Structure 1
Amino acid sequence: MSAARGDTVVIFTEDADWHTRNLKAAIERTGLAVVVLSLNDCGFAIGGTAHGLMLPGFGDTLPVAAFVRLIAKGTTEQITARLGLLHALRELGVKVMNDARAVERCVDKSMTSFLIATAGLPTPRSFVGEDREAMQALVDEAPGDMVLKPLFGAQGKGIRRIPARTALPEPDKVGGVYYLQDFVTQPGGEARADAPYQDWRVFVVGGQVAAAMIRRSPRWITNIHQGAIGEAAPPDAEAFDYAVRATAAVGADYAGVDLIEDARGGFQVLEVNSMPAWKGLQKTTEIDIAGRLARHVVEVLGSTRTTSESAISRPAVSLTPAR
């Protein structure tokens, strides 16, 4: 039997950065305790602990919930083990936000695009393959420019715009996988000084839009980390509906959804981020985004708690081998 530390939430991250500090403080304001851990320091202890996991400071107990802020880069084996631990926590009844399934679906942009389209949401044509010749033919036959993205990537890093008949890079430059997506022409065509490129970041928490911003840039890459400027977005029923549905499509509790307006004035869903930053977004709104995340944790757990509440215990399967 193992006890759940009913007053404790784990934040998995690699850096006690602004996001972690704000989220920790927001969760603590609800009366829950917070422990910050790196997944690198955790692992499996089958036969060593009652629940079969190694969580520093927890022993035979479990957190009541876990919040995944960052997963460090690593080898295939390291990433598999870290995601395996998140899968195991979910199997043990710990609420993980976002759980390993959602993280896997969002990290792999091909699966994200597939799930968005399968959910009936508008999204640019996307092609993923390993054969450079076959992917080059798609570029050459495309009705317009395409965008080459790293299959695993964030913050606009490594993205390239590929005009028709432009030679694709060698496979070793793209990790052996080509992810191609149609370039979306925005209303009014190419950006001008008075009409820069723009897209939307919509932050969804618990099936509701918490906040949204429009990111504007003179360059076609509109990530805040690439120099774009964010401003509060007006409420838009279509954009918000698409963002909520896209978040549900990947199975995420919270997400940062990127959308873009096309030449016809409608929205298309570009990406869903399962570990989104929100510092840039927070600067555009008075809504306490970390507070919304903390409240969602409490709501999911089913009741508010105070620091005076005693720890809640619950049965768990013992993974100690019989002797």
Structure 2
Amino acid sequence: MKLAILSRNTKLYSTRRLVEAAREHGHSVRVLDPLRCYMRIASDGFQMHYKGREIAGYHAVIPRIGASVTRYGSAVLRQFELMETYTPNTSDAILRARDKLRSHQLLAAQRIGLPATVFGDNPDDTADLLSMLGPPPHVIKLNEGTQGAGVMLTEKLSASKGVIEALRGLYANFLVQEFVAEAKGADLRCFVVGGTVVAAMKRQAPKGDFRSNLHRGGTAKGVRASAAEQEVAVRAAQVLGLGVAGVDLIRSDRGPLVLEVNASPGLEGIEEASGVDVASEIIQYVSGRIQLKTPKRAGGKR
């Protein structure tokens, strides 16, 4: 298999592990910076170049597209798709997952458990909006924040209104959610590959914080997710169209609730905590999904 990995940094742990795993399984692999890929789009075919040379003949591409380059990176990935290169996470699926409001609407429509969430635009509606959610504490999240950034906990109604007013003044898009106290600052990251939870870890927030992200000082240990938790994680990934996903759940009195579905989940924390070779799981899934035929050459007639 001739494999491309879209990543801005070859030294990142997740990128390095995918390269190592691909080579261990006998595949040819190359890391491509999505911002150095450029495209020709025409009715007679699709063409892409990288640093002055044509990109062609890849059987599969694994996207590791950071939030800061979502727009351009997804366009590059879509060009690969139009050139008939397989990807476990399509450009549309990544865009669905990156938009928290959209992903929550899609998941709720399929009756997947979520913390109650409200969203509104006009300042005149703030009081009624919060009444739809219920009394504080409230969790306020930027719509496209990552790794716990842009997530705030307000314990009084006046604080919720103040934060919302400030965010609206910055023209920021955000959601407000109920605070699930029984989770006690812990969540569960389920790593889904091809419809199976291949690894899971429990993350615990540091003292004085409610965010369990490892980038925020949280700790992690490998666990086995329950059958119900695995089912919810797999369904959430499938609803958003992701073959590879990190699904973050919290354990509540009413069952597992989905916090977020990550389309480009990091491998370092989950591999260290669980001891599972997640990179190899991804490579084997991708290689099993493609038919080893020569893709159409860039710029060829369609």
Partner of 2:172 in structure 1? 176
Deviations 1:242-298 (A, max 9, x none): 000000011001100010012x26211111000011211111122101111111111
Deviation, structure 1 residue 216: 1.2
- 1:105 to 2:100 alignment: no
SS at match of 1:246: helix
- 1:157 to 2:149 alignment: yes
Structure 2 runs not aligned, ≥5 long: none
Deviation, structure 1 residue 319: 5.9
Question: Which one has more relative contact order, counting CA pairs under 8 Å at least 6 apart?
Answer: 1
Q: Name the larger-Rg structure.
A: 1
- 1:216 to 2:216 alignment: no
Aligned-partner Cα distance in 1 for 2:169–2:210: 22
Deviation, structure 1 residue 143: 2.9
Point out the more displaced range, 133-142 or 281-290: 133-142
Partner of 2:4 in structure 1? 10
- Residues 42 and 173 (structure 1), Cα distance of their counterparts in 2 relative to 1, 3 Å cut: farther
Q: Does the 8 A contact of 2:65 with 2:73 survive in 1? A: no
Deviations 1:187-225 (A, max 9, x none): 6xxx4xxxxx21100000010001001111232111111
| TM-score, scaled relative to structure 1 | 0.83
Partner of 1:257 in structure 2? 247
- Residues 241 and 267 (structure 1), Cα distance of their counterparts in 2 relative to 1, 3 Å cut: same
Partner of 2:117 in structure 1? 126
Q: CA RMSD in A?
A: 2.5
Q: What is the number of residues matched between the two proteins?
A: 293
Q: Does the 8 A contact of 1:9 with 1:66 survive in 2? A: yes
SS at match of 2:119: strand
Matches within 5 A, 1:249-288: 249-262=239-252, 264=253, 266-288=255-277
- Residues 170 and 28 (structure 1), Cα distance of their counterparts in 2 relative to 1, 3 Å cut: same
Partner of 1:207 in structure 2? 195
- 1:185 to 2:181 alignment: yes
- Residues 291 and 144 (structure 1), Cα distance of their counterparts in 2 relative to 1, 3 Å cut: same
Q: Which structure has greater helix proportion? A: 2
Deviations 1:154-196 (A, max 9, x none): 1101111123232224245654323111111216xxx4xxxxx
Report % sequence identity: 25
Aligned pair partner of 1:62 in 57, 65, 80: 57
| TM-score, scaled relative to structure 2 | 0.88
Q: Does the 8 A contact of 2:204 with 2:212 survive in 1? A: yes
Structure 1 runs not aligned, ≥5 long: 1-6, 192-196, 304-311
Partner of 2:140 in structure 1? 148
Q: Does the 8 A contact of 2:34 with 2:72 survive in 1? A: no
Aligned-partner Cα distance in 1 for 2:41–2:202: 48
Point out the more displaced range, 235-244 or 168-177: 168-177
Aligned-partner Cα distance in 2 for 1:177–1:15: 28
Aligned-partner Cα distance in 2 for 1:56–1:32: 23
- Residues 133 and 276 (structure 1), Cα distance of their counterparts in 2 relative to 1, 3 Å cut: farther
Matches within 5 A, 1:76-95: 79-95=70-86
- Residues 186 and 58 (structure 1), Cα distance of their counterparts in 2 relative to 1, 3 Å cut: farther
Look up the equivalent residue of 1:215 and give its one-letter code.
Answer: R
